[in-house]
Amino acid sequence: MDTQNPNVPSHAHTRVAGKKHPNRRHPHSGLVHDNTRHTTRFTVIGNHLAQHPELSLLAIGLSVHIQSLPAGSRIDIKSLAARFPEGTTRIAAALRELEAHGYLRRTRERVPDGRIITRTTSCNQPGHSSTDAPRPAPRKRTRQPGGTPLPAVPRPACPAPALLHQATDLLSRLRRDDPRLLLSTSDTAHLAPGVAAWLERDVSPAAVRRALTTDLPPEPLHRPAALLAHRLTAQLPPPPPFGARQAPPPPTRHPLQTCDGCDRAFRAPEPGRCRDCRSAAALSAQSPSRTGLTGTPEVIKAVSGVARSRGENRSGPS
């Protein structure tokens, strides 16, 4: 009984922890990793995404694919549906999942050419990006009245005050034709030279008013002065023709005729008696008591000619 057993350990062994158990290094069942360190073409994915408890498998896989793409890649629904066998409905639902959990942000932006596009931002760790911090609200830009200048209008060659006053009165009365054409003082002062240019070109005020108020658009006019300025410029009539002043027609030169009473030559459109013979015939037709002349027309004509010459001599200078 006093013989010592050499196989008995001198002290009790310490219990090995479960994770450090030798058999745990090479499990006989379950997942086995065969990892190789990546040096190129790899993407770091957090376990918060790969093992997300609420995201669907399609959403997780789609987020991994999106995070592996370079900046500027197209990840709209149609592009993703063309890349993967899943349809547009399932891909759209997965994108909504990622957007709800913060892995995607989609905002609408206006590009310099005026188009509105959807900008998609991928977040590899939601809640830890500087862009997630609350931004100050942008100040609302208030549009100053008259900030955009009105289009240029034609200018009259001679801006007479009376012409500009007539143009101003015409513009101030346009609101009677259409209440939307109520103009401010500055707009009226800007448009008055354009109306004066029309009036200077022999266009009546009624014609100018019709040109400015006919065929107006049915929708509300946000800036009626700009519309009137465009019409004054686009529909400006040409100046009136500057023709040479026509000289009066020359007097008609009748042919020479021979008097039937005295054989005297005179100019007349048709043959007949000269002026003296016609006067003598008119005197002979009157009563002798009124004229005091008697005899044949030839005698009366001679006496009348002598009397006429004497009267001319008396009326001449002394």
SS (H, E, C) 173-191: CHHHHCHHHCCCHHHHHHH
pLDDT tens digits for 207-241? 999 999 998 888 888 889 999 999 999 999 988 87
Whole-number pLDDT of residue 269: 86
Q: Which residue has the tokens 């014609």?
A: 207
How would you class 291 by CB atoms within 10 Å of its CB: exposed for 0-12, middle for 13-18, buried for 19 or more?
middle
- The distance from CA 163 to its chain's CA centroid, rounded to whole angstroms, is 29
Whole-number pLDDT of residue 144: 46
Alpha helices, DSSP H, located in 70-150: 77-83, 88-100
Q: Which residue has the tokens 């448009």?
A: 191
Closest CA to 238 of 202, 272, 211: 202
End-to-end CA distance of the chain: 201
DSSP β-bridge partners for residue 110: 116
Burial 50-88 (b: 16+ CB within 10 A, else e): eebeebeebbbebbeebbeeeeeeebeeeebbeeeebee
Q: What Å distances lie between residue 135 and 121, 131, 132, 281, CA to CA?
A: 16, 8, 8, 118
CB under 8 Å, gap of 24 or more: what pairs does 127-135 form? 127/102, 131/105, 132/102
Determine the angle formed by the axes of helices 57-68 and 88-100, rounding to 10 degrees: 80
DSSP string of 142-182, one letter each residue:
PPPTT-SPPPP----SS--HHHHHHHHHHHHTHHHH-GGG-
- Written as six digits, the tokens of 260 are 């039937």
Whole-number pLDDT of residue 245: 58
Are 271 and 257 spatial neighbours (Cβ–Cβ below 8 Å)?
Answer: yes
Are 223 and 234 spatial neighbours (Cβ–Cβ below 8 Å)?
Answer: no
Q: Which domains does the chain have, with CATH numbers?
A: 47-128 (1.10.10.10), 161-214+223-234 (no CATH), 256-311 (no CATH)
d(CA 120, CA 91): 15
User: Which stretches of the chain score pLDDT less than 70?
Assistant: 1-28, 129-147, 242-247, 286-318
Q: Which residue has the tokens 């790969």?
A: 50
